[in-house]
Amino acid sequence: MMRSNAQSRSFFSKVGVTKASLLGLSLVWAVGCGVPEDKHNALVKDFENTKIELAETQQRAQATEDDLNSQIAVLNAKIAELEKKQAGLEDELEEANGNLQMYESKHGSLEERLKSTKGELEELRKAREKTRKQLAQFRDIANKFASMVESGKLSVKIRDGKMVIELTSNVLFDSGSTKIKEEGQVSLTELGAVLQQIENREFLIAGHTDDVGQEAANWVLSTNRAVEVVKFLQSSGVDPTRLAAAGYGEYAPIESNDTPEGKAQNRRIEVIMMPNLEELPTIPKDILEDS
């Protein structure tokens, strides 16, 4: 687990260094070549924004990994507790077997308790293994998007236990339009190629707007944009049975709409990797209540 954590931090550090280094070189070139002050200032601002964005991405990734590792730690503690309980029950059972006539009723009760404990222990082991697989899967998928993250075409986040791929609307669409721009088509083609590599997953394409304009128009705009992205991904080779579209209008913001920067963040298209219900850990209800 320590090795996996190191690999995860190494990946995000590599992404941060690569992108920040490129922007840093751009700044050096701009100064050396006598670029106008306004363009130089824009490069400086982009550089600072990129450093902030990369730092936030690393923090989110670390928080997600810490959360999953915490779940594993809880499961390990439960397993250790049940193993200790099992050892004690086995000792009692051995003692009861020494005098079967006297302890016949107790023997039967201990057998049932031991059987129940073994069942709980097996369920916890399965839950721990599934959690580890989920963490490994998130890392693997994040690596597939590494080049697109480095180039600034998208960002990858974990939200409510689901992987979310974010693309800003200005990359895909002109203001108020549902027609995908050429630049956006390039990004979606690359995205579609990666999605085809992810097996046994369905994807929800979610459209979002800021709070500018009429409510009904924003609902329609966000929905139509999501549908256009689904259609384009299908034409790029993604199985349409694995795609769905939804429009949230202005009602699922990730930033405040009180600033231009916040509005820009809220105008976005998200590709949400839906969980495979068959792979979700199943933990006995009584175990959760005891936690």
111 pLDDT more than 60: yes
Q: Using 50, 70 and 90 to split pLDDT, how confident is the model at 184? A: very high
Q: Residue 78's pLDDT is what?
A: 86
**Cα torsion 13, 19, 21, 27: sign:** negative
Residue with tokens 């069942």: 119
Residue ranges per structural domain of the chain:
2-143, 153-279
**Could you say which architecture CATH assigns to the domain 153-279?**
2-Layer Sandwich (3.30)
Q: What percent of the chain has a predicted confidence (pLDDT) above 70?
A: 79
* Residues contacting residue 136 through CB under 8 Å, at least 6 positions apart: 4
Q: Residue 251's pLDDT is what?
A: 95
Q: Give the side-chain half-sphere CA count within 13 A for 262.
A: 11
Q: Which of 14-23, 138-147, 230-239: highest mean pLDDT?
A: 230-239
Q: Residue 91's pLDDT is what?
A: 83
Please state the pTM of the whole predicted model.
0.54
Q: Could you read off the pLDDT of 33-46 as tens digits, one per residue? A: 666 777 778 877 87
How many CB atoms are located within 10 Å of the residue 154 CB?
22
Distance CA 29, CA 13 (A): 24
More confident site: 60 or 102: 60
Distance CA 64, CA 67 (A): 5
Q: Residue 291's pLDDT is what?
A: 43
Q: Residue 205's pLDDT is what?
A: 98
Bridging pattern class, strands 203-208 and 243-247: parallel
Exposed e or buried b for every residue in 57-92, given b needs 16+ CB within 10 A?
Answer: bbebbeebbeebbebbebbeebbeebeeebeebeeb
Q: Using 50, 70 and 90 to split pLDDT, how confident is the model at 234? A: very high
Q: Residue 85's pLDDT is what?
A: 86
| Phi, psi angles (nearest 5°) of residue 263 | -60, -40
Task: State the average pLDDT for the chain.
Answer: 81
Q: Using 50, 70 and 90 to split pLDDT, how confident is the model at 86? A: confident
Provide the phi-psi class of 209: left if phi over 0, else alpha when psi is between -120 and 50, else beta: beta
161 pLDDT more than 90: no
Residue with tokens 């997600």: 64
For 267, the token pair is 């105008």
What integer is the mean pLDDT of 15-32? 53
For 288, the token pair is 């959760």
Q: Using 50, 70 and 90 to split pLDDT, how confident is the model at 129? A: confident
172 pLDDT more than 90: yes
